[in-house]
Amino acid sequence: MNDLEIYVRELDTARLEAWLGESLDGLAMAAVGSVGVAKGKGYYQGVPVRVSLYPGAFSKHFTSVVLEGDELPWRSDLDCARNAWRRLDVEVRCSPGDWKEGDPVQDEKWWRLDHRGEQMVNWN
């Protein structure tokens, strides 16, 4: 199973769902709990894709967007982030793909895509 994860700055769930619905057929989402988490499923090339939206990530300003499936619309977190930035016009961040659990957080670099372009930055 493949997974993609990006972080979208201060954007409501309805716009995220509309963006994801451009690439996933039959996307159906439902709220889970009382903190705004939404989970659901869509299809990419006929293959199921699980979608999870977790608002309030990283100092409450970002929504974590997670896609999981055997086939996904994008090959990497960065490809997904680029598409989100182009379609949503808000700051998007993602891991460069080489961070591992247990690595020092102060050394952690992230891709930041916004009106300044694509840059590798420390999260804070």
Considering only residues 28 and 108, tell me which one the structure prediction assigns the higher pLDDT.
Answer: 28
Q: What percent of the chain has pLDDT over 70?
A: 92
Cα 57 from Cα 46, distance rounded (Å): 31
Angle 13-21/77-88 helices, nearest 10 degrees? 110
Q: How far is CA 88 from CA 17, 32, 54, 105, in A?
A: 11, 24, 17, 28
Task: Report the pLDDT averaged over residues 83-107.
Answer: 79
CA 101, CA 108: separation in Å to the nearest integer?
11
pLDDT one-digit tens code per residue, 33-73: 878 899 999 999 999 999 999 998 877 899 999 999 999 99
Q: What are 71-91's pLDDT values in tens digits?
A: 999 999 999 999 999 999 999
Length of the chain: 124
Q: Looking at this protein, which amino acid is placed at residue 37?
A: V
Give the pLDDT of residue 101. 58
Q: Where are the domains of the chain?
A: 2-122
